[in-house]
Structure formats: structure tokens, C-alpha cells
Amino acid sequence: MVSPTPFLTLSSLLLVLLLCTAGVNSSSTPPTKIGNGYRLISIERTPDGGLVGHLVVNQKNNIYGPDIPTLQLSVKHETHDRLRVHITDAEKQRWEVPYNLLPREQPPVLKQTIGRSRKSPITVAETDYPGSELVFSYTTDPFGFAVKRKSNGQTLFNSSSDESDPFGNLVFKDQYLEISTKLPNDASLYGLGENTQPHGIKLYPNDPYTLYTTDISAINVNTDLYGSHPVYMDLRNVGGKPYAHSVLLLNSNGMDVFYRGTSLTYKVIGGVLDFYFFAGPTALGVIDQYTSFVGRPAPMPYWSLGFHQCRWGYHNLSVVEDVVANYQKAQIPLDVIWNDDDHMDGHKDFTLNPISYPQSKLSAFLDKIHSIGMKYIVLIDPGIAVNSSYGVYQRGISNDVFIKYEDEPYLAQVWPGAVYFPDFLNPKTVSWWGDEIRRFHELVPVDGLWIDMNEASNFCSGKCTIPKGKQCPTGTGPGWDCCLDCKNITKTRWDAPPYMINASGLQKPVGFKTIATSAVHYNGVLEYDAHSLYGFSQSIATHKALQGLEGKRPFILSRSTYVGSGQYAAHWTGDNQGTWENLRYSISTMLNFGIFGVPMVGSDICGFYPQPTEELCNRWIEVGAFYPFSRDHANYYSPRQELYQWESVAESARNALGMRYKLLPYLYTLNYEAHISGAPIARPLFFSFPTYTEVYGLSTQFLLGSSLMVSPVLEQGKSQVTALFPPGSWYSLFDITQAITSKGGLNVTLDAPLHVVNVHLYQNTILPMQQGGMISKEARKTPFNLMVTFPAGSDGEAIGNLFIDDDELPEMKLGNGYSTYIDFHATVTKGTVKVWSEVQESKFALDQGLHIEKISVLGLDGSGQASALEVNGKPVTNASNIELSTTKQNVLEDGGDKVKIVMVEIKDLSLDVGKNFAITWKMGPKVEDKRIM
């Protein structure tokens, strides 16, 4: 839904940054060093092999408030590849991300006695924990610590400061924490979101990175947006060998992060310093380790990987019915139809408009679409309308579920007018929320829920009251103008903290257009501390509610996210703009969320507002068809932009989405891999090609899985695209007779007329595909085709896999009797080709009657044709229906010997997916008859 916050322009953002004071809000100006740090006065080992130490401040000052005099340091090697460094007040408990929201080990209990001060000169100590890849070391005065990689001694993090460094020593005040790390010049950093990064996926020196969940349109670059993910991945190439690691600062308070190329500084307005270091050394290894800690990505139902259509402005049910009918008429695949808030009665959650969405007609419509496998999802906002005749409100008041301010529910304004915000940190709220979802599901059997505006968004700021004698909202105008009677709240240090983060890109107060930061949650928790957890806590409560309804796998789409959100929800990148720039930005944001452990992600296809051009919408569906989450969504005030509105866009959609639906088994298998290891569905190219440094900053192409590369057109008026091909052989997915091969990598200008998107499959891959269709339920019943790719003209091997299950089940795993996993293998050695499978848990696949109809093998030596075909050890004779054919492939090379290659196709196989098979043949002398003799 459209952001109520007026959007910023790039020029206004740059002006603000230029005017900011040195060291506080400008990342391009040398910072002011605050204080002289702390000294370590005692340290000892704990029984579990960790360390506990105490720090005292060297020299107090009152910049941003008084220093906390004594700190407790705890260090723990939690796993072979995860190290935790935790620093907090030694005398009293401080706010931390709740352990029930993000389960993890508790740090040591605060010690009340401080050890005897050491008066020895500055020393350096190093702790080497057996079995750990990470080594922790420290200096005592001023205190600093470093984390090194044991295998090669590389320093991954170093907070020690000297005069030549652009940062100071550790600062720890009640509302201002500062710590920094040195970085080598050649480190490539990724992450620190959510924001729209105009320079691409790599962090860009001196760009601002502010983390604080905010409802501000995603068209604003370098601005704190809907999510807070204080984690970055660091990729370095050392002597030709790639090493990746990741650093998480688990803190939910607002923060500015200043990246200057050779250093990175955190400035945080509360909480503790709770660092987690993940050793990698591969990018996939980092994500595996990270999601093992924060939570594995949620399993997604199969249908969620189909195409989705939404619009804010489907004013009545007949419009929705017409949209579904027009997609079917245009022969464009569609799995899910959505409603924004149009179905609601007066914008109130869990209601239906009795005139435009009468319950009886909506039920009949849902019966109709459910019968063919289509799904229906609606939006709910967290704000509950203050309305004494509204049952949801009545029950909320009765159960005391709302966030408080001065012992009364905090009053805000969102779409229904005056609202209260549920407090999802309160167990009673979680139960009440689940009951409201149950009640609504009995009224409308929705297939998923879309939780929006959960940063939380407020059209007003401060302390508000409902005006007397005037209507609010007025029913006219844009709808997001504040119409409550409000006054600013500045009387507490929570509402006006001493350090101002660069909130909304303009140093707005932390309570601007959200819940007042001095408002109170359950158990006295301040909104100041818990603000960025709001959408995360709502996702957890919503996931619990949906899973408890019918025991089915939930689907939740959340705008606001935090560390660990991927375990419960998918994400879309918010209110983007129908421009070429925003199309390009969407790729970087999508790739970042894979690093954040939220792999089910996508942007509003064709842009949320204003109306895109016809050409842009053509190009956007050619990208969006390959987002993990693929949805067209438009604004109330924009003209209609469903994919059938232009015939040219419809043609591009049929082409691109037609391929997506053939790839659904591959995407679903990637969904399974994401769930068990965190592996992103959409990935930067450096995940698969970490030694090829040319791709470290590549943000205009991306991979699905390890080997399927999308190279879209992202500029107006172009009918070609220049794409970078890492070393090896690549095969065009839309025309498998075309191949590109190189030894050192190659830039290639590809033809890309309006309805064409270039997608290439890398060598050594076995890609499972089906025949597609108009809806995933039917597409997944069609026969399989295995596409096998070898290095052009060379001996080699290829692998692939396939996971299938009952996608209604909450859990996605093997061993429950309702899933099957297949490993595919292929080799070519001295002219002998072999393709075979190894099946685990065969029963489910056999019960589904799935079979493989065709195998296509690409990149074989072109000097001969296939013969002597055997299937499961038996020769195939001329009497068989199985057909073997050989077709020449065209190769674009970067020089050297010309390679002649062919592809071999075996058709009409009818191999059971649930049974092991083995197929062999020889590439012998040329024969005229393409059928086997």
C-alpha cells in the first residue's frame, strides 16, 4: 500500500547529508572521536570454555550522555564456525532482542563483583578454542578485540583504534553505543538493510546506512526502509582464493552504520553490543551458518511460486472476477489473486464490505477458484479501528492487548482513522490475534495473509486525541493526512534521544509517523527499544495462527522484517516506482534479502506507482517472472496495469511466465534447499563464481540457484543487452541450440527484442523441468524433462536434484511418507554418456504417478551421433517407441580452437520419477537414421 510519508528526492537527501555535522550524520566527513575507551581489568575462563571479562571506562564525558562506568564482556565459541562477543552493563540488565522471539544461548549472569585492576602495560592476548575456526584476541588498554580466521590468520574484525584510524575507541552510554572495525581495501561488503542501494549490491563507501524500520517509499535511495537487518557479508579474494564471512550485530535499536572503505562504524542508540561472527568460508556456508542461528527460511507452498496479481483499487468483487477471467482469456498463468484493503468494511481488519464484497458471493467465488487450484490472499494492517461497535476492537479492549502510553492504549491513525496497535510481545495479544484470524477464516477461507504497514506506520506523530466536531478521516483527499488532534512528545529522553540517527534520511525524530518511542509494551518494554521488532513479532503471531487453523503450511507476506523474519514470512520490497531505475534497484534488494535469510522475495512488477510505460512493463515482467516471489501490484491512483492490459506485455508475460511455470519443480527444490540450509533462491553471481572477481559488484544479472543466470534488459529503448559470462559453458534456456563458452570469462552482446529475456544454464547441471501450464496445480502433474549440460565438447559430469512433497503439510522434510528426493547424475567419458538417478523415499513420487518423458543432453562432442542406447541395462530396439535424436548446437567462443557440439534428446521415455533409472549410449560415427537400430 502507498506510503503515507511524503517521499524524499535524491537531491534533498544529498543536501541533508552535506549539512550534517561532522562525525554524527555525514559518512563522508572525518568523524569526531568520542572518549578514550575502556580498559580491561579482569578476564577469566568459564566452565564451558568461554571468557568473561570486565571493563572500566578510561575517562568519562557527557557527549550523548554519561558513560556506563563498568561493562561485562563475554566471549563464546558457540559452534565450530560461530563466535559470539557480547558487551553489556556490568551492573544492571539492559534491553536485548527478546530470547523468546529469537531463541539463543543466554550470556553469563551479570557478575556483581569487579575483578582487581591490572596496572601492567598494554598487552595483547589471544584465545584459541579447540575445534573453532575463529580466534578471538584482545588488547587491554584501550580495550579492543579482533577476530581472526585460524586457517590463514586473516583478521576479519578489529575494533582496536590508533591515531591513524578514522574512528575512535569503544563508547558505551545508555543511549549511544559506538564501535568500529578496520577493513582491508579489497573487502567487498554486502547487506546492512533494508534500503534501496543505487550503486548496486556492494556497499558503497560514504553512502548512509541507517537501520530503523520506517514506512517510507522504497523509491527513496539510501534511506532506512521497512526492515532492519544489521548484518553484512564480507567477501575477500586472498591470493586467488575467495573467503567469505559474516558479521551480525544483534541489536534492535536504531543505528547508523558508517562504511568508509577501510573501516566500518556502528552508532547505536541503545541496547547491547551482541556480535555474532560466521566463518564461512564460502558465501553459501555463511548463509547456512547464519540461518542455522537466526532460523531457517519458512517452507513455502508450491502454489506460492506461481504468479500473483494484486491491485489496491479492486473496488468490488466483480472486478476481481473480471481480472481472473481476463488472465485466463489472455492465456497468462495465474495462481493467486489478492485483495488490498478493498474487501474491508471501512478499512477495518477481519471484515467484509457488505455491498462490494458480500460474504455469500465471495464464498461462491472462492469455491470456484479453489476448485481449479487458485488461491486468494488478503491484506490486514496492525492498526485496529477504535470503534465501540467493532467486535475485533471490543475483544482487544477486553483482553488488554494494545500498546500503552501513560497507562492508556496509544492512539494513532491509519486507514480506518483512529486506531490502537496490538502489542505482539504480550502473550495475550498473540492468543487474541490468533482467535481473530480464526474467526475471519471461518468467514473467508483465505489461503494466506498479507501483513502491511507493520513498521509500524502511523499517519500522525506524538500524543493524539480524537477530534470533536469533525470527521476523521474526512473521506476525501489522499487518505494519509493526519486528522487527529496531536501534539509533539519531547519530554522524555526516549522521544528525543541525545544522538539522532538519520531516520527517514532527514534526521527525523525516532517517533516520526510511528508509535511514540516512550510508549510501553508488555512487561514495561519501551517502544524505543522494540520498535524495529514490530513486524517480526507480528509475523510470528500470524504464522502461529495460520498454522493452527487447518494444520497447513502458512503463507505470510510481511512488509516489515527483522533478523529471523525469513523463518515465518516472505517479503516484497514495498512501494516502488514504475521507472527504469526502480527496475534496476529491485535486483539488488532481492539479492540482499537472500543474504538476510529471507529468500522468498520480490518487487511489485511494473512498479507500484505511477503507471509504467508499456515498454517498461514488458521488461519488468521479464525480470519479475524470475523473482522468487512474483507479483504484479499497483496503486489505487494509477491506471490499471494487469499484464493483459497491453497485448505486447501479455506476449512477454506468456513467454517469461511460461518458462517460470516450466521451472517450478526447480524453484520448489530451491525452496527446499533454502529451508534446510538457508541457500538463497536468487543469488549474486559471486555465490557460484567466487574466484571470478569481475562479478563481485555485478547487480544487473542474477542466478536462480547455482547455475541458472538471468540477464535482463534494464534500459529504455534497448533491443540488446551486454551480459557477463563467467568462465565455462552456458546454454540458452529459450533456444538450447545456442551456447556460449569461454576460458576466462566473456562479455557478450545478446539480442533481446521486446519479448525476449536471456536466461542461460551453466555446465555441469541437470535441470528438472515440467511442461508448464496456466496454474501450478496442473503444471506439477505434467511429465518431466531433464536438461543436462556438459562443458562444451569435453568429458565431464553433471548433477541436479528434485524435491517433491505434499505442499499442504506444515513441515517440509524427508521421512514423513509424503515427500521424495531425487539426485540426478550424468557423466560423459570418452564418448560414453550415462544419466542416472538415486531416489530417496520413493513412495510419494510413485503415488503421484509422475514420470520423466524426455532427457536433453547439451554440449556433447559433435564429431558423431548417438547410438547403442540402453535403458536400465536393456538395449533399446527399433521396435521401441523411444526416440533418440542428435541436433547441432551453435557456439560463441572467446578464441582458441573451434568446438563442434551437439545435443542429444531422448523422447517418449516414461520413466517413473520415484524409481532409480540408468541410461547410457555412445557418441559414435555419424549415422543417417536418427532412430535407434
**784 contacts 771 by C-beta, under 8 angstroms:** no
DSSP string, 27-56: TTSPPPP----EEEEEEEE-TTS-EEEEEE
Q: Would you call 112 exposed, middle or buried from its count of C-beta atoms within 10 A (0-12, 13-18, 19+)?
A: exposed
Cα–Cα distance between 717 and 719 in angstroms, integer? 7
> What pairs with residue 232 in β-bridges?
191, 247
Type of residue found at 217: S
Task: State the Cα–Cα distance between residues 751 and 520, nearest whole angstrom.
Answer: 58
Q: Residue 797 forms beta bridges with which residues? A: 827
Among residues 563, 623, 555, the alpha carbon closest in space to that of 595 is found at 563
**Beta carbons within 10 angstroms of residue 59's beta carbon:** 8
Collect all residues with Cβ–Cβ distance below 8 Å to 790 and sequence separation of at least 6.
729, 763, 764, 796, 797, 798, 826, 828, 857, 858, 859, 860
**Is 575 an active-site residue?**
yes
Residue 838 falls in the annotated catalytic set: no
Look up residue 778 and give its DSSP letter: H
How many other C-beta atoms can be found within 10 angstroms of the C-beta atom of residue 522?
Answer: 18
**b/e map 672-708, b = 16+ CB within 10 Å:** bbbbbbbbbbbbbbbbbbbebbebbebbbbbbbbbbb
651 is catalytic: no
Q: Which residues of 880-902 are buried (b: 16+ CB within 10 A; e: fewer)?
A: bebbbebeebebebeeeeebebb
Query: In whole angstroms, what is the distance from residue 17 CA to residue 222 CA?
Result: 11
Residue 770 CA to residue 778 CA, distance in Å, equals 10
In whole angstroms, what is the distance from residue 59 CA to residue 479 CA?
52
Of the candidates 96, 207, 224, 455, the residue annotated as catalytic is: 455
Cβ-contact 251, 230 below 8 angstroms = yes
3-state secondary structure of 612: coil
Instruction: Show contacts of 539-544: CB within 8 Å, 24+ apart.
Output: 539/451, 539/565, 539/568, 539/569, 540/101, 540/424, 540/430, 540/568, 541/424, 541/429, 541/430, 541/433, 541/434, 542/433, 542/437, 542/449, 542/451, 542/568, 542/569, 543/298, 543/568, 543/569, 544/430, 544/434
Rg, Å, the chain Cα set: 29
- Could you give the C-alpha distances from 874 to 302, 342, 529, 824, in angstroms and in order? 36, 62, 69, 20
- At 684, list the grid cell: 549474486
Catalytic entry in 452, 495, 861, 905: 452
Task: Give the CA distances from residue 496 to residues 455, 499, 832, in Å, rounded to whole numbers and listed in that order.
Answer: 19, 8, 74
CA-to-CA dists, residue 755 to 109, 696, 763, angstroms: 62, 29, 26
Q: In 421-541, where do the E strands start and end?
A: 448-451, 463-465, 485-487
Catalytic residue among 575, 632, 673, 805: 575
Dist. CA 228–CA 532, nearest whole Å: 6
Give a three-class secondary structure readout of 50-71: CEEEEEEECCCCCCCCCECCEE
Cell (9 digits) for 858: 547439451
Active-site residue set: 452, 455, 575
